[in-house]
Amino acid sequence: MLTLCPLAIDEIRTLLNAFYAVCRWVPIYYLWRPNTRDESDNFLIELALAGNASCIITNNVRDLRNAELKFPDLHIVKPDELLRGK
C-alpha cells in the first residue's frame, strides 16, 4: 500500500498523528446485537453507535444494511456515495 501512496513516510506520519490527535477512546459495552448476516460485522455497528457516528463508510453495505435491528440515524454508505454527496 505504501508504494501506491503519493506521500512520503514523514508525510504519512504527520497525517496519522493529526488524525490520532482528534481521536478519543470510547467505552464499548456491546449492548446492541444488530444481527447482521455476517456475525463478525456486528461490532462495526456497535462501535459506530458507541462513538455517536452518523455513518459507516464501507463497501460491505449489503450485510450492514440488512441487519435485523435498525438504527435510523446511522447511515451505511459506500465511499463513492459519500464523495458524491448521496
- Digit-coded pLDDT (tens) for 13-47: 999 999 999 998 888 776 777 888 888 888 888 88
Q: From CA 56, how far away is CA 42, in angstroms rounded?
A: 12
Whole-model pTM over 0.85: no
Q: Tell me how many degrees the CA angle 9-53-85 measures, rounded to the nearest 5.
A: 80
Q: From CA 9, how far away is CA 12, in angstroms rounded?
A: 5
